[in-house]
Structure 1
Amino acid sequence: MMLRWLLLPFLAVAFAHRIEVEQGDQQCYFEDLQTHDRMTVTYEVGGSTNSGSLDIDFLVVGPGKVQVYKNFGESQGTWTVTAPGAGRYTYCFSNAVGNGRKTVSFNVHGVMHIDDEEQMAPVELEIRNLASGLQMVKDEQSYLVVRERVHRDTCESTNSRVKWWAIVQIILLLGVCGWNVHYLKSWFEVKRVL
């Protein structure tokens, strides 16, 4: 019995996923929750085949096919629910109006509800709190990895543009110098009149 209570905090679900959502496509996932279970979905768009938008549409449909949450055109977000009753929650990432393929990283984690929490020993409650805090640290690290990748891609893109702009400027400068030499040379040419 005591082993069950010690392992219960570690039953909090924690998955890290990375998916590719094609242009005009929608990918959906679901979780079955019991009454008072808590679930959180955090997501972030970490890349796109086009050099522009990093946005995605996120929607959640609860039990009875009722839409409970929607977030359109955002590059990141968090959604949390404490289930009022047992049922299936479906969450979808949609790239219906976007252009290009998008890479989405998302985490799903939750806590199962325990009815007799006041009967738990203080050590067991502390273990649950530590497990929850550890999950928050893991989520923050995943978020930082994605942000670092986005910033690195932006820096590499900017560096490439600066390099090509410098090459174009050098070519233009050499062209203008060549034209100036030719023009000045034409002033000093001796013109013969016959």
Structure 2
Amino acid sequence: MVLLPSRPPLFLLFLASLLLLSSTARAHMIELAAGKKECFFEDLHAEDKMTVTYQVGGGGHLDIDFWLKDPNSKIIYNQHRNPTGTFTFTSAIDGRYQYCFSNEMSTVSPKTVSFNVHGVIYVPDDGQTAPIEREIRALADSLQDVKDEQEYIVVRERVHRNTAESTNSRVKYWSIFQGAALMLVCAWQVYYLKAFFEVKRVI
């Protein structure tokens, strides 16, 4: 006689809750030329949740403009000249939402922007959701936050490495310039002292 478990296995609950959660995530990296902008679109339903995180990885002062519009072209979030940002919102209406990154404030420097978009499709809680499913949903949100933080750290490490390499290069060339200038000054002093102590004879 085989006894069947009275409750479904834990991994089945985990799989079912992930299917109910319907979470999506995408990572992107774009190059924005000076004076240009780039926009993206997301089709959302009411009560859907979406998060956009971004980080400027290189170019100029490491700043970018960012804004997000609802389907009625109303700006619901706006940031000017920030190196990084995170915005989470819950859609109020069905439609296509637009978010843009702009480098229009720059006339010379292109910018490298790394950004993530992840969202959760709204699933109503009818009161029958198991406590473990709620915990798994919360865990999934926490894992996404950790992932965003890791990607932020990776981009910051790249920025600091580029800054260190640039500083090292400037120090090297400045040292070469100082050495050349010192040699020229020494040569001029020797020549000047030699000319100063030279005895001029009138024939």
What is the TM-score of this pair, normalised by structure 1? 0.91
Of 53, 57, 70, 2:61 maps to 53
| Structure 2 unaligned regions, length at least 5 | 1-11
CA distance in 1, matches of 2:105, 2:18: 47
Matches within 5 A, 1:139-150: 139-150=148-159
1:118 alignment partner in structure 2: 127
1:82 aligns with 2:93: no
Of 13, 32, 43, 2:54 maps to 43
Matches within 5 A, 1:1-194: 4-9=16-21, 11-48=22-59, 52-98=60-106, 99-116=108-125, 118-194=127-203
Q: Which letter maps to 1:5?
A: S
Which is higher, the Rg of structure 1 or of structure 2? 2
What is the TM-score of this pair, normalised by structure 2? 0.87
Identity of aligned residues (%): 56
Pairwise CA distance, 1:119: 1.6
CA distance in 2, matches of 1:127, 1:25: 41
Pairwise CA distance, 1:123: 1.4
Q: Which letter maps to 1:146?
A: V
Q: Is the 8 A contact 2:17 2:137 kept in 1?
A: no
Pairwise CA distance, 1:20: 0.8
CA distance in 2, matches of 1:23, 1:116: 47
| Structure 1 unaligned regions, length at least 5 | none
Deviations 1:19-72 (A, max 9, x none): 111122211111111121111101111012xxx322111111102121212111
Closer/same/farther in 2, CA of residues 18 and 82 from structure 1, 3 Å limit: same
Residue aligned with 2:180, SS: helix
CA distance in 1, matches of 2:199, 2:16: 104
Closer/same/farther in 2, CA of residues 16 and 117 from structure 1, 3 Å limit: farther
Q: Which letter maps to 2:172?
A: K
